[in-house]
C-alpha cells in the first residue's frame, strides 16, 4: 500500500494525551510534557517509543516486552533547550553533523554538534506497508545554515512495524552548498546496563579491535581515580573483562569510552547486544559502510546509569 502521511504541527499537542492516528495495532499519541516539549508516542502490540518530533527527533523513551530500555538519568522530562547536557536523558540522539564529540579549547562547536536538539519546523507522521509488513513512522525535514560555510538538510526517520520489538532509524544528510561538506555523525544510543547481562558484539575481543580511551577522573579521590585507571588498563590488556556486566568488578565512574572496530556480516551489518539474565536482549545492528567504528560509552555514577 502507498504510505499515508500527516504533517504534524505543535498545535496538535496538549497537556492531555490524545490518540491522533491508528493503523491496525499501530497508533500515534500526541501530548506535551510539563516542560512544554512535544512528545509523540509510537506504539505497537509489543511496546512503544516516545519521540520528540520538533526537538532533534530524539527517541526520549523506549519500552518493549515490559522492559524499560533507557538509561537512568536525573531528567524525568526533556527540557526545551539546545544545550546538550541541560536535557540529557534520552534513548537515541542524532549527533553531528558539522562537528561531534567534546569541544577542545580551540573549538567553537557545541558538545556533540547541532543535531541532538535541532529544532525541526517540519515533522511528518506516516503509515504504510513495506517488505516487513505494516508500519508507523515519524520523519522530519530541516535545513541547517551558517552563512559562507554550511548549508545542509537533515531528514531523520524512525519506523516501527506491527508485531516487532525492534525498529529502524535512519538519518539522511544532503549537502546544499556547492562545495563538499566535511561532516561527522554519531547515532548516540543510551541503553541501561543490567547487572548480570553479557555484552556480545561482532568484533574480536582483542586490543587491536577494542580500545578503552583514557578518562579524565575529574574530582575523584585519588584512590578512586587509581581504580579507574587500573580498570582501563585491564580492558586494554583483555577487552573481555568488560563483557559481563558486574559492578563489583568494574569501574565506570565517571565514564569509560571504548572504540570498537566492528566486523560486518555478509550483508554489511555489524551487531551488538546486551543479553539479559532472563534470556532476552537489547539489540542494535548498523551498516559498517557508513559507520565503520563504534564507540561504547558506559557511565555508572549512581545518578546516571548508561
Burial of 299 (0-12, 13-18, 19+ CB in 10 A): buried
Whether domain 1-190 has CATH 3.30.420.40: the reply is no
* Cell numbers given for 271: 551487531
Q: pLDDT by residue (tens digit) across 47-71?
A: 999 999 999 999 999 999 999 999 9
* Cell numbers given for 285: 545492528
CA distance 275 to 272: 10
In terms of phi and psi (left: phi > 0; alpha: psi -120 to 50; beta: otherwise), the region of 10 is alpha
Of 156, 131, 141, 162, the C-alpha closest to 27 is: 162
* Element spanning 230, H or E: helix 222-237
The pLDDT, as a whole number, for residue 32 is 99
List the chain domain ranges. 1-190, 193-306
Binned at pLDDT 50, 70 and 90, residue 1 comes out as low
Residue 5: how many CA atoms within 13 Å on its side-chain side? 10
CA distance 129 to 142: 25
* Spatial contact of 197 and 246, defined as CB atoms under 8 Å apart: no
Q: 133 or 3, which is more confident? A: 133
* Spatial contact of 140 and 57, defined as CB atoms under 8 Å apart: yes
* Spatial contact of 134 and 123, defined as CB atoms under 8 Å apart: no
* Spatial contact of 37 and 79, defined as CB atoms under 8 Å apart: yes
* Spatial contact of 236 and 212, defined as CB atoms under 8 Å apart: yes
CA distance 106 to 83: 19
Q: What residues are paired with 296 via a beta bridge? A: 258
* Element spanning 237, H or E: helix 222-237
Asked if pLDDT for residue 169 goes beyond 90, the answer is yes
CA distance 52 to 254: 28
The pLDDT, as a whole number, for residue 102 is 86
| pLDDT mean across residues, the chain | 96
CA distance 225 to 218: 9
Asked if pLDDT for residue 146 goes beyond 80, the answer is yes
CA distance 243 to 198: 6
Cα–Cα distances (Å) from 167 to 5, 48, 86, 145, 158, in that order, read: 19, 10, 27, 30, 7
Question: Which are the contacts of 18, defined by CB distance < 8 A and separation ≥ 6?
Answer: 12, 29, 30, 31
**Quick check: helix, strand or coil at residue 12?**
helix
* Spatial contact of 32 and 41, defined as CB atoms under 8 Å apart: no
CA distance 1 to 290: 30
- Look up the pTM and report it: 0.96
Q: pLDDT by residue (tens digit) across 234-291?
A: 999 999 999 999 999 999 999 999 999 999 999 999 999 999 999 999 999 999 999 9
Asked if pLDDT for residue 201 goes beyond 70, the answer is yes
CA distance 67 to 44: 14
Amino acid at each position: 500500500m502507498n504510505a499515508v502521511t500527516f504533517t504534524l504541527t505543535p498545535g496538535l499537542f496538549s497537556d492531555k494525551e490524545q490518540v491522533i492516528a491508528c493503523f491496525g495495532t499501530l497508533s500515534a499519541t500526541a501530548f506535551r510534557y510539563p516542560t512544554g516539549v512535544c512528545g509523540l508516542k509510537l506504539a505497537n502490540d509489543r511496546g512503544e517509543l516516545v519521540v520528540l518530533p520538533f526537538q532533534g527527533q530524539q527517541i526520549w523513551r523506549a519500552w518493549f516486552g515490559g522492559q524499560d530500555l533507557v538509561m537512568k538519568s536525573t531528567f524525568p522530562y526533556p527540557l526545551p533547550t539546545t544545550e546538550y547536557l541541560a536535557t540529557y536523558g534520552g534513548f537515541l540522539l542524532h549527533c553531528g553533523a558539522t562537528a561531534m564529540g567534546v569541544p577542545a579549547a580551540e573549538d567553537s562547536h557545541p558538545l556533540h554538534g547541532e543535531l541532538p536538539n535541532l529544532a525541526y519546523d517540519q515533522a511528518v507522521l506516516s503509515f504504510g506497508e513495506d517488505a516487513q509488513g505494516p508500519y508507523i513512522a515519524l520523519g522530519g525535514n530541516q535545513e541547517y545554515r551558517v552563512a559562507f560555510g554550511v548549508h545542509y538538510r537533515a531528514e531523520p526517520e524512525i519506523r516501527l512495524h506491527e508485531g516487532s520489538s525492534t525498529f529502524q532509524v535512519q538519518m539522511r544528510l544532503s549537502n546544499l552548498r556547492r562545495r563538499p561538506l566535511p561532516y561527522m555523525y554519531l547515532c548516540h544510543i543510551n541503553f541501561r546496563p543490567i547487572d548480570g547481562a553479557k555484552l556480545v558484539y561482532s568484533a574480536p575481543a582483542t586490543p587491536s579491535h577494542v580500545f578503552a580511551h583514557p578518562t579524565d577522573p575529574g574530582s575523584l579521590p585519588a584512590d578512586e581515580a587509581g581504580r579507574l585507571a587500573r580498570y582501563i588498563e585491564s580492558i586494554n590488556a583483555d577487552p573481555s573483562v568488560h563483557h559481563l556486566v558486574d559492578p563489583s568488578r568494574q569501574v565506570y565512574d565517571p565514564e569509560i569510552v571504548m572504540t570498537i572496530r566492528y566486523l560486518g556480516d555478509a550483508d554489511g551489518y555489524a551487531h551488538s547486544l546486551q543479553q539479559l539474565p532472563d534470556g532476552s536482549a537489547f539489540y542494535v545492528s548498523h551498516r559498517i559502510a557508513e559507520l565503520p567504528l563504534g564507540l561504547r560509552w558506559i557511565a555508572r555514577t549512581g545518578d546516571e546509569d548508561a
